[in-house]
Structure formats: C-alpha cells, structure tokens
Structure 1
Amino acid sequence: MKRLLIIMACLWFGSLQAQDWQDSFEDALALANEQNKPVVLVFSGSDWCGPCIRLKRGILDSEDFSAYAKDHYVLYNADFPRKKKNQLPEHKLNENKSLFTEYNPKGYFPLVVVMDKDQKVLGKTGFNRKASPQDYIALLDGFVK
C-alpha cells in the first residue's frame, strides 16, 4: 500500500511539472494572448541531442526555472526524437516541422526562441553548460525587456 501511494504521488507531481508545457503551439499562442506573456519555444532532440538533454535536466526542469516560468512564460517544446519508441504523433511532428522551418532554418539544437504573443521573435539562444537556472532566466528576460 505504501509503495502504491509513493507511485501515485510521483505521478501526481510529474503531472504538475508537465502542466507548464503546452500540448500544441496553437495552445501556447492562445494562452500567451490570454495571459499577455511571451512564448518560449524550445527546439530539442530529446533522445539524441546531448546539449538538449542537459538543458532540460539542468535548466528547464529545475525548480527555480519551473516556478519562474509558470508566472512569466508560456512554454512549448518542439521536439524531434529519433528513437522509434519516442516518435511523436504525425500531427505533432508536422506542427514541429513547420515551426522548425519558420524559426530554426539553420537547424540548431537546442535552440530556444523567445517571442511575443504576436509571434515576433525577441531573441534566440542555445545552451551554455555553465549557466545556472537563474542565469538562463535573466537571459530570457533580457529578450523580453
């Protein structure tokens, strides 16, 4: 019984973390317009790109970034996994490819694009392994101001 409660608590906590990331770019834009927040669009290769994985683990999944982002950004991850077991549904892959063509024509991974609610690009960045979550927040905020 105790084991079941622990598993359920982990799943519940995981679902709280996942709520910050929008399921579609369209949803992200709608929320950005509703809440007057910038969109943080992340291009990643979640199962093959080492810097993408480090960005996610070290910055994006950190408590500091998650808490700050919840109040200041709308988040969308345009992921491009390669492993068969991680493949995205076709509609999501097509949406990500469209975003890739428009916002990441040079094919950088990871690439983080900050844009306003009207899709005007305010700034782009990648991953700096020496950056803390607070440094990354300051960098993204610098694009918005």
Structure 2
Amino acid sequence: MRKIISIITLMLMSMSSLTAQEWLTNFNEAKDIASNTNKNIVLVFAGSDWCAPCIKLERQILNTEKFLKYAKENYILVKADFPRKRKNQLPENLQEQNKQLAEAYNKSGGFPLVVMLDKEGKKLGEIGYKKVTPDAYIEILNKMIR
C-alpha cells in the first residue's frame, strides 16, 4: 500500500511540475531563454527567510497555480534571493550575481521588488507587493509591457 501511495505521489508531483514554470536563478540563462522564446523576464528581488511582504507575495500571487500557468506561457521567471539566515545562504557566485542584479535593477534596495524586463534585460517597469488577486497582478505586469 505504501508503494502505491508513493508512486501516486511521485506521479502527481511530476505532473504538477509540467504545468508550473520553474524559477530560474541564473540571470544569463534567463536572458538566453527569453531571447530564444521572445518572452519578457520577471525578476523578483526577495528576502525569502526574513521579509514578510516577500513571503506574502510568493504565497498569495507568485506561487499560485493561476500565476504560474500564465507565466509559463508569457514570462521567464527569475528570483534574486537575499536570505539572511546562515542555513539558507546561497553559493558565493549566486550571491555575487544577485548583488550585481540589485545594483542594476534595485538601487533603492526595496523588498520585495518585481521588475519587468524585456528579453535583452532593459527595465520596463517595477512593482512591489500589492494585496490583489493573481489576475490583477498579471494585469499590472502586462501594462508595463505595452
């Protein structure tokens, strides 16, 4: 019985990963994919283990099925995380990349910050946390493109 439950769980997990877009952490890889697919980049600056509004944004919007399904078809998702707890620290190369991204796209140092970029990395607009539906958030992001 345990084997059957385990197999079903694995199947469901693999099926859900087919519909959800993966969050990338390598910005150069994201730009390459965006260029090849002609999609804009959604770059999210977050403090995953200390920033309450960041955590709310992820739970209420960015990690919802509605947002992820839409994003898979329309955006390339990139997360620049800045965790503070020692156990959550990122590898040095990723920390350095995220620092450079913040210098280029988040000079104010605000968290969370969602930046819409074109496929070349040109900034089109930005937004922070808003207590809205995933549909309303998508609409706000799409207005940056037009």
The verdict on a shared fold, with TM-score over 0.5 as the criterion, is yes
- C-alpha distance in 1 between matches for 2:14 and 2:94: 24
Q: Which residue of 2 aligns with 1:55?
A: 57
TM-aligned CA distance change 1:10 to 1:47, over 3 Å: farther
Q: Which residue of 1 aligns with 2:117?
A: 115
Unaligned stretches of 5+ residues in structure 2: none
SS in 1 for 2:50: coil
- C-alpha distance in 1 between matches for 2:58 and 2:70: 15
Tell whether 2:127 aligns with 1:136.
Answer: no
- C-alpha distance in 2 between matches for 1:51 and 1:125: 12
User: How far did residue 5 of structure 1 move?
Assistant: 2.3
- Equivalent position to 1:78, from 58, 62, 80: 80
Tell whether 2:25 aligns with 1:23.
Answer: yes
Unaligned stretches of 5+ residues in structure 1: none
Aligned length: 144
Q: Which moved more, 1:17-26 or 1:40-49?
A: 17-26
The letter for the 2-side match of 1:117 is: K
- C-alpha distance in 2 between matches for 1:110 and 1:9: 33
TM-aligned CA distance change 1:90 to 1:13, over 3 Å: farther
The letter for the 2-side match of 1:94 is: E
TM-score computed with the length of structure 1 as normaliser: 0.91
The letter for the 2-side match of 1:40 is: V
Give the RMSD, CA atoms, in angstroms: 1.7
TM-score computed with the length of structure 2 as normaliser: 0.91
Give % identity: 47
- C-alpha distance in 2 between matches for 1:13 and 1:43: 28
- C-alpha distance in 2 between matches for 1:125 and 1:69: 16
